[in-house]
Chain A
């Protein structure tokens, strides 16, 4: 009777051990799959961020020449004949005043126009056109920037008469890096 009981207990323990072994093995396999999954997803996510940043950089570059010739920026016939890569500073000043409507139109974080050489005199209503830097959209972000040389034209009063004036300048566009 006692021997039988001991045998039973031995069998039970052996079976429990087997189940435990199996459970641990399955757990290990499960954890292995999860870890492989995490590695694959993190590599893919890193690639996705890289692709998004590269696409943003490309967009910034192509947007530069597009912006300078867009109806909101371009000189048109306002300063003599139609010119390519000519920015109407007066129109940009007007755009700055209505920027809340325009903020999402181009999908960029910063747009800045600078006359060259530049003393970093920020344009305001009070000092315009005697200034050299106009920040159209100015979100505080770190990211990729691209610049292009343009002519910056505006009307100026010289001894009582209105004159067209064009300076050498640059347009800078910035994008946020995808985090």
Chain B
């Protein structure tokens, strides 16, 4: 009796050891599988984010070709997307970072990757959300005044907005109205403002304004503060982006302008060897130093004055115009 009991207990112990072993190893395998799948899914999200960012970069390239002003592209995504266009002033040209996140099961995915672009200047609220996004561009040129025919281009400014975010331009000048009409961008309205739109007022007596634009003082005033602008390209930039992005992107543009000015200094030396004469180099160096000392949009006025002087000298250059 005792022996058979002992044997039974041993057999039970053997089989229960087998079960415990199977459960422990099974749990280990399951843990590894779940861990692997989670890691893999995160990797997929990062890949998706990087791909979308790069695609946005490529889609925005056509905005920077040719001389036409106010070109437009529509960027569509199958799911709700959050685009963060961040600006960084570090380095010779600074950086434009684009990060995209997708909405999955009503939650924003995490782990979006930054796509770094050094030759783009995107003005947008950070972040913008939606399924459809509009982007249009305008060239930024020196001197920053609408009437100059022989100004030199620094970069194309890209304005990115979500189709869900409406803007209404109230009492805008005629040139702005006709430009917006020709853009035919569904989220920018003229005068007939709806309650869900951000109202941009151009007349000081207008009421219920979210943004106030004054051409007289050259300022765009928002709840977050005021920034200075010259020309329509910068006015749009100030309206469609937050103040921090605006100031940061302007700093990047001035860095680019400095490098282009260095190129013109060198070009002037090269063309002197071919028989060109002229003394624009000294003024170019003064301009370069002004650009080097650029801090904020308050400095635009002084820089622009020197650009006007440069432009006058250049337009008198005959066959030896630098730009």
Residues of A within 8 A of B (CB): 4, 7-8, 11, 14-15, 18-19, 22-23, 26, 29-30, 33, 37, 40-41, 48, 51, 55, 58-59, 62-63, 65-66, 69-72, 74, 76-78, 82, 84, 88, 90-91, 93-95, 97-98, 101-102, 104-107, 128-129, 155-157, 160-164
* Chain A residues whose C-beta falls within 8 Å of the C-beta of B267 in the assembled complex: 88, 90-91, 93-94
- Give per-residue flags for B142-182: 1 if the beta carbon is below 8 A from chain A beta carbons, else 0: 00000001101111000000000000000000000000000
Residues of B within 8 A of A (CB): 3, 7, 10-11, 14-15, 17-18, 21-22, 25-26, 29, 32-33, 36, 40, 47, 51, 54-55, 57-58, 61-62, 64-67, 92-93, 117-119, 149-150, 152-155, 256, 259-260, 262-264, 266-267, 269-271, 274-276, 319-323
| Contact A104/B155 with A26-B29, A98-B266, A163-B319 known, Cβ cut-off 8 Å | no
User: A59–B141 Cα gap in the complex (Å)?
Assistant: 25
User: A101–B260 Cα gap in the complex (Å)?
Assistant: 11
The 6 closest A-B pairs by CB, nearest first: A94-B266, A15-B14, A62-B61, A76-B323, A157-B275, A94-B267
Distance (whole angstroms) from the CB of A104 to the closest CB of chain B: 6
New A-B contacts (4) at CB < 8 Å, excluding given A33-B32, A71-B260, A94-B263: A29-B29, A59-B61, A74-B153, A94-B267
User: A11–B319 Cα gap in the complex (Å)?
Assistant: 106
Are A82 and B67 in contact, CB atoms less than 8 angstroms apart? Answer: yes
User: A76–B150 Cα gap in the complex (Å)?
Assistant: 8
Partner of A104, one of B51, B61, B118, B264: B118
